Amino acid sequence: MIDKVHVLKDQILQLENEITVTSQHLEAILLGLPNLPFDDVPIGSDESSNIEIEAKRYGKINDKKTAEHFEIDTVEGMMDFETASRVSGSRFVYLKGQLALLERALGQFMLDTHTTQNGYTEIAPPLIVNNSSMLGTAQLPKFEEDQFQVIVRDNDLADHNNRKWLIPTAEVSLTNIVREKITDKADLPLRFVALTSCFRAEAGAAGRDTRGMIRQHQFQKVELVSITEPELSEVEHNRMLECAEAILKLLELPYRVMLLSSGDMGFSAQKTYDLEVWMPGQQTYREISSISNCGDFQARRMMARYRDGNKNKKYLHTLNGSGVAVGRALIAILENYQTPDGIQVPDVLKKYMNNLSTIKI
């Protein structure tokens, strides 16, 4: 009898181990599945199936090719890639003098607009987050190679659950505010805004945009995050889009709005609008903001719920978008506002730049 008990005990342990392995394998599969697009999202494999929302096109484009931002004589010496490459490597830059002031002015202007006019609460979030936070917003595990991991000790490499990461976007820090929490319906919607540095390894971008500031490992971005009940997330999505559009209108930068196809959307998104600003130096539109409704996709991973009027617990909907990318806004200003005398400063930025009207060498 004792021998049989030992045999059964061993069999139970073996089965428990098999269940653990199978559960981990299943979880890995589930974490690798993307969100499902809304019914009104165009079906397609890539950006060629994106649809322009023509009614939202703004501004008159300059169809005469100008110098690209890194070729403009006025900014020579104020945009230093050579020193940055020596100090940090490729895809970094030193901004100096009036260009550094312009970058700071853009960030302050965007924050002021979103907090005073658009109803967002400013947050100064952590720039380093843990593994659970990256899993919650779905940067992990699928996009691990695009992230910068923070290694404090050698065993950080082995301790999978205790890993730390530099944020690729403030979306991670802001959205995880509601992770493993139950929010009262009366407190919704939650609207957060943050200006942070963002860090991306850009592992999949080899050979693309190798010159200039378009694609950097470190960049400034103003991020908008909204947390809503499911019934109002579509309304909130359109509102967030208008908040980001307002920034470009105030800067008087020509742009268009694209509804992304299923094959061009982000992993977490159910529906995404891209704001694309006109770059006369490249004679093309370039993305400056993506505004996404993630539905309850992130909330399920984060166990982020709210209590409705009947005290039932339901998953929240999360939305995020750039409001907007500071570096690309700076590039767009350099290319759209260049004159023989220098770079004109947009009117809304002058009060942030000591009433400077023109950037000169």
CB atoms within 10 A of CB 33: 10
Find the angle CA(78)-CA(82)-CA(88) to the nearest 5 degrees: 110
Q: How far is CA 266 from CA 33, 46, 98, 254, 294, in A?
A: 12, 11, 35, 24, 9
Tell whether omega for the bond before 189 is within 30 degrees of 0, i.e. cis: yes
Q: Taking residues 100-117, what's their average pLDDT?
A: 99
Burial category of 174 from C-beta neighbours within 10 Å (exposed 0-12, middle 13-18, buried 19 and up): buried
Instruction: Quote the tokens at residue 339.
Output: 């004159």
pLDDT reported for residue 154: 62
Q: Which fold has domain 39-359?
A: BirA Bifunctional Protein; domain 2 (3.30.930)
Has residue 206 got a pLDDT over 80?
no
Query: pTM (2 decimals)?
Result: 0.93
Has residue 323 got a pLDDT over 60?
yes
pLDDT confidence tier of residue 17, bands split at 50, 70 and 90: confident
Instruction: Summarize pLDDT for 146-192 with one digit per residue, the tens.
Output: 999 998 776 655 566 789 999 999 999 999 999 999 999 999 999 99
pLDDT reported for residue 76: 85
pLDDT reported for residue 74: 87
Task: Tell me the catalytic residues.
Answer: 200, 215, 287, 290, 328
- Residue recorded with tokens 């942070």: 196
